[in-house]
Chains A and B, each alone.
Chain A
Amino acid sequence: MDEEETGVMAKMSFEDAATRYGAEPGGGAPTKVKITFIDSQGQARAVEGEVGSTVMETARRNDIPEIAAECGGACACATCHVYVDENWTEKAGKPSQMEEDMLDFAFDVKPNSRLCCQITVRPELEGLVVTTPAQQG
């Protein structure tokens, strides 16, 4: 899929490409945002997340510890549990009913708990900070 996308991109001007990916012409909306994962010991790791992917996928691509993601993003296992930093809870949004149900299988659930396979990376999440719990599974 990636190759195909690149092939299409090569034939498009920058402005075409920007429009295609939802940015204002000439505006250059970011396709990547910075996401910081803080582990249960307090160590922070800042990585780049691709707009359109999920926070869980970003974690896996960057070998972030304490994200098990056993089911691979099907919202079926509750092992990608994170606490969203309070500055971001509103922008990250509230869990859907399905996610809320699945959070019943996570440990130490708090009001800012999310399953990060259900958070899609968007430009407005630039700078997102999430903390991982000590135990997922």
Chain B
Amino acid sequence: MNQLKEAAIETDVVIVGAGPAGLFSVFELGLLDIKAHVIDILPRAGGQCSELYPEKPIYDIPGLPVCTGQELTDNLLKQIEPFRPTFHFNEMVETLVSLGTPEKPEFRLSTDAGKIFHAKVVFVAAGGGSFQPKKPPIPKIDSYEGKSVFYAVRRMEDFRDKNVVIVGGGDSALDWTLNLQPVAKSLTLVHRRDQFRAAPHSVSAMQELVATGKINFRLGQITTVEGEDGELISATLKGNDGVEEKIACERLMPFFGLTMKLGPVADWGLQLNENLIPVDTEKFESSHPGIFAVGDINAYPGKLKLILSGFHEAALASQKAHRYVYPDKKLLFQYTTSSTNLQKKLGVS
């Protein structure tokens, strides 16, 4: 618990989301001497670009006839290197509290990992929201979450001597099958087919456990669960042949990939319109002074959810952010091509 009391991280701006709009915000803010910390729930930068289409071509980035989602991410990371942003991955901003005044905004943000940030400005670049685990359509599954239904393993001890059921056929499902088998009382892996989209060595290790009777493998899906006070007792397994069977299940881990949910942004007291943050088109500022929204998460008349729109929005929002961070400094418009001052910041002069 001491970690929670750790001193707050002081920064000019916190950028929520490390997708293309968030990354390019680092650049535009950096040119104006505004230092950024970037927080993202995913384990890496790139947002949808790296999570949904790392290998797919993008054709509408100005000046780049074609690049993949991963290439764009890598290039953006290279482009913002001179500004040395600090990334906080695998973390979600849970609370955002306003401490300042409209003229001199100040914010306190806290993440689900217990970190606290103090920032003068916040850029919400959260795209379609946070990527969160897909929850299977099992009635009342919510009431077991965190106690006996898990989408990630935080503590192995929660699984010791329990009847564990893992659903899925990807790397997460197989990794946790292999890791939890030694501590679980029993482990059943449930998947819709007998093929696995996972690292070949994990697949063979899993098959070895099945062959030696150390785990059960069942073709089918979990349709219902039973238990009390959040503690699971059993689950109904519906085989691919349609036959239903009750199996012992005290811990359930469904792995169906990720989906985008707005998440805690909804609780930050911002005016929202159909899960989007309305902004003006001069500064891309939300209803709350000092909180900007750029990229897919914002809304304004004529909005196009294109990466290039996010870049433009980041540039304009940064201009206003400068007024909050450096209220006494005059902002001089400069070009990177000719300004020795900007070139110095970029480390190229």
Taking Cβ atoms with an 8 Å cutoff, the residues of A that contact B are: 68, 70-72, 74, 76-79, 100-101, 103-109, 134-135, 137
Complex CA–CA separation, A79 to B128 (angstroms): 14
Residue ranges of B at the interface with A (Cβ–Cβ < 8 Å): 48, 52-53, 56, 128, 134, 136-137, 168-170, 191-193, 195, 197, 221, 256-257, 259-260
A76-B52, A104-B170, A108-B137 as given contacts; A137 in contact with B221, CB under 8 Å: no
CA distance in complex: A71, B55 (Å): 13
Q: Which of these, B191, B197, B256, B260, contacts A70 with CB under 8 Å?
A: B260
* B257 and A77 within 8 A (CB): yes
Complex formed: what's the CA distance from A39 to B113 in Å?
40
Bound-state CA distance A122–B43 (Å) is: 40
The answer to whether A108 and B53 have CB atoms under 8 Å apart is no
Contact of B52 among A68, A71, A100, A107 (CB under 8 A): A71
- Asked if B137 and A77 sit within 8 Å, CB to CB, the answer is no
Q: Which residues of B contact A135 (CB under 8 A)?
A: 137
Q: What are the 10 A-B residue pairs with the smallest beta carbon separation, nearest first?
A: A137-B259, A105-B257, A101-B197, A71-B52, A74-B53, A76-B52, A135-B137, A104-B169, A74-B56, A105-B256
Q: Which residues of A contact B168 (CB under 8 A)?
A: 104
Known: A104-B170, A109-B192, A135-B137. A78 touches B257 (CB 8 A): yes
Q: How far is the CA of A109 from the CA of B193 in the complex (A)?
A: 10
* Residue on B nearest A77 in the bound complex, by CB: B52
Are B53 and A71 neighbours in the complex by a CB distance under 8 Å?
A: yes
CA distance A78 to B260 in the complex (A): 12
Which residues of chain A have C-beta atoms less than 8 A from B197's C-beta?
101, 104
